[in-house]
Structure 1
Amino acid sequence: MLALHNRDMIGFLHDPEPSEGADRLYADDLDELGYVMNVSKLWAHAPEVCDDLFALMRKAVGGRLSLRTRAILVVAATSAFGDSYCALAWGEKLTAQAGPGTAAAVVTGADIGLTEAEQALAAWARRVARNPGATTEADVSTLRAAGYSDADIFAMTVFIALRIAFATVNDALGVQPDAQLADRVPSDLRAAVTFGREPLSP
């Protein structure tokens, strides 16, 4: 088992008990990042639920949405929702796809650097995150006019909702963004994330 002895708490909960599922989450992070993410420590309380949630996200997307599109949706939605962790993590992904200025602009809602179709995506993600009961048929028509099919619109809406569900658990249980994540994202992206929980100190 991969034991984590450096902290007794993750957010508002105690560190989870060792398990094979927790080891797998930690090992995946160590292989990819060189450290264990705080969200992985939290979801190690129920790694199978984490697996199922992300499998459902992949199934919802069904290959319809590119990484750039998913990054725009997540950054726009989680910024509107007030989740700093996913805004930083997916802002880093969007930086790789579109540059740091565009990533920061999606966080703030300026959307500089996005195409008109992508601006429609970002606007939809914010509406879903802020007040899904206030969306209108005209909002959906704007997405259709931007070239998205009804199946695309359904897929992106389910994806947004599931990402918000993930962020809700993290935020409610007090998980802070990783110090390593905050240190490595571009400074303009970090400066744009003025909401949510502060990253942990190094």
Structure 2
Amino acid sequence: MTVIRTPAEGEVQGAAARLYADDIESLGYVASHTRVTALNPDALAAFESLIRAVVPSLGMRRYELVTLAAAGALGSTACRAHHGVKALGYIDADELERIARDYRNAGLAPDEVAMMAFAERLSGDSASMTEQDAAELQRVGFSDREIVDIAFAAAARNFYSRSLHALGIEPDIPPSLPASLRDALLDGMRTREA
């Protein structure tokens, strides 16, 4: 649990109050990560602006796949669970469960597997990456802009997930996440950690 004092719903105003309200509307509660990040709503808005800048070239499905791969490589329970719920808007539950367990053998197209592997590698050891990593994305058909946006999306997840880890934020497991999908998201992540 974080040592950061987070305001109660009745104590927030302005942009922070809107963030709380957005969570209540979409989740039914205020997520623990929102309570902490709402302490600097301008920084959170900058992060969200980056995400809005990369999504148009990737589309939401691909953005969520990159996010899930990066979050899994980082060991971010909070982001895997939260984006598991978000991904259900773009990926059906059965396919998402297969992806969460083992994206390499989930029946994804080669370009989606390659981009998830790229995000996973960036999140695990970006310093060892070479032009060959980006060349593999080119080989499977990604444009230069898409490759840049895949890197930005994965790196942005690193920023957010690592911040949550550093601040000791206890992850929320959204109650709307079906149990089998929750288990796949979290067990699949642990499998890659081993």
Bin the TM-score by the shorter chain: 0.7 to 0.9
| Paired AA for residue 18 in structure 1 | V
Matched residue, 2:4:
13
Partner deviation per Cα, 1:131-179 (whole Å, 9 max, x = no partner): 0011222221211111101111011101211121011111211222324
CA gap of 1:28–1:94, structure 2 versus 1, over 3 A, is closer
| Paired AA for residue 141 in structure 1 | A
- Does the 8 Å CA contact 1:92/1:185 hold for their aligned counterparts? yes
Partner deviation per Cα, 1:24-64 (whole Å, 9 max, x = no partner): 111111222222111110112111111111112212x1610
| Paired AA for residue 182 in structure 2 | R
After superposing the two structures, state which structure 1 stretch, 159-168 or 95-104, moved more: 95-104
| Paired AA for residue 177 in structure 1 | P
Cα drift, residue 100 of structure 1 = 2.9
Q: Distance in 2 between matches of 1:22 and 1:131?
A: 34
Give the percent of matched residue pairs that are identical in Structure 1 and Structure 2: 29
Identify unmatched segments of 5+ residues in structure 2. Answer: none
Partner deviation per Cα, 1:48-92 (whole Å, 9 max, x = no partner): 111111112212x16101111011000011001100111111122
The alignment status of 1:190 with 2:185, answered yes or no, reads no
CA gap of 1:92–1:113, structure 2 versus 1, over 3 A, is farther
Cα drift, residue 128 of structure 1 = 0.5
Identify unmatched segments of 5+ residues in structure 1. Answer: 1-9, 197-202
Structure holding more helix per residue: 2
The alignment status of 1:65 with 2:58, answered yes or no, reads yes
1:12 aligned counterpart, secondary structure: coil
Q: Distance in 2 between matches of 1:110 and 1:70?
A: 15
CA gap of 1:31–1:98, structure 2 versus 1, over 3 A, is closer
| Paired AA for residue 72 in structure 2 | S
CA gap of 1:46–1:155, structure 2 versus 1, over 3 A, is same
Structure with more relative contact order (C-alpha pairs < 8 Å, separation 6 or more): 2
Matched residue, 2:73:
80
Q: Distance in 2 between matches of 1:78 and 1:116?
A: 20
Q: Distance in 2 between matches of 1:114 and 1:62?
A: 19
Q: Distance in 1 between matches of 2:124 and 2:98?
A: 18
2:90 aligned counterpart, secondary structure: helix
2:56 aligned counterpart, secondary structure: coil
- Does the 8 Å CA contact 2:118/2:133 hold for their aligned counterparts? yes
Aligned residue pairs total 184
| Paired AA for residue 84 in structure 1 | T
Q: Distance in 1 between matches of 2:107 and 2:121?
A: 20
What TM-score, normalized by structure 1, do the two folds share?
A: 0.82
Q: After the TM superposition, which segments of 4 or more aligned residues of structure 1 sit over 4 Å from their partners?
A: none
